[in-house]
């Protein structure tokens, strides 16, 4: 019983070497061309895979840059939320010695910044960051 060696499927066929160029037959040339075609196909597949990976890497780098921007914004929002200087409209009105309606008019005119607890509802309660309100009022005058 003889055991025959079978090459792995992805292993290219060896290119036959010829000792005497006069003894080259059509079958040998055909075998040589097939082995060459196999190698070209493998190299093409590898090049395509590398190109696709390079494109995916560029997309990932772009996504990471966008995520860094979002993370920076979220960190700012969290830092503001952790401050204890948040005021309601009546509290801010009392501090500035104006009416609650005047505070609302200032927000609507864009002169001070206010944050709605429910951004989708125009009737939701607002909160004001004391530091931002004073910055806004200084920049108006």
How many Cα atoms within 13 Å fall on the side-chain side of residue 119? 1
Distance between terminal CA atoms of the chain?
101
Last residue of a domain, one of 46, 64, 81: 81
Same domain, 74 and 89: no
86-88 and 126-129 strand pairing: antiparallel
Q: Which domain holds residue 118?
A: 85-140
Report the chain (141 residues): mean pLDDT per 10 consecutive residues.
54 57 68 85 86 88 91 81 81 94 93 87 86 89 60
The model's pLDDT over 56-74, given as tens digits with 9 standing for 90+, comes to 889 989 999 999 999 888 8
The predicted pLDDT at position 100 comes to 94
Q: How many domains does the chain have?
A: 2
The angle subtended at Cα 71 by Cα 121 and Cα 134, nearest 5°, is 60
Same domain, 93 and 136: yes
46 lies in some domain:
yes
Same domain, 75 and 42: yes
Separation between Cα atoms, residue 108 and residue 104, nearest integer Å: 6
DSSP letter, residue 12:
P
What residues form DSSP beta bridges with 31? none
The predicted pLDDT at position 93 comes to 95
CB-CB contact of 137 with 112 (8 Å): yes
The predicted pLDDT at position 128 comes to 92
Same domain, 96 and 123: yes
CB-CB contact of 127 with 114 (8 Å): yes
The predicted pLDDT at position 10 comes to 63
Same domain, 76 and 125: no
Same domain, 91 and 58: no
For 87, phi then psi, to 5°, come to: -125, 150
Please report the beta strands in the chain, taking only residues with DSSP state E, as ranges in sequence order.
86-88, 115-116, 126-129
């Amino acid at each position: 019983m003889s055991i025959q060696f079978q090459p792995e499927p992805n292993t290219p066929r060896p290119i036959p070497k010829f000792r005497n160029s006069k003894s080259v037959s059509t079958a040998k040339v055909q075998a040589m061309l097939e082995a060459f075609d196999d190698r070209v196909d493998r190299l093409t597949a590898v090049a395509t895979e590398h190109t696709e990976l390079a494109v995916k890497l560029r997309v990932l780098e772009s996504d990471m840059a966008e995520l860094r921007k979002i993370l920076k914004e979220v960190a700012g929002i969290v830092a503001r939320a952790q401050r204890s200087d948040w005021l309601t409209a009546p509290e801010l009105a009392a501090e500035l010695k104006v009416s609650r309606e005047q505070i609302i008019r200032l927000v609507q005119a864009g002169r001070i910044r206010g944050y709605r607890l429910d951004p989708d509802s125009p009737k939701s309660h607002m909160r004001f960051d004391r530091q931002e309100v004073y910055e806004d009022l200084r920049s108006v005058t």
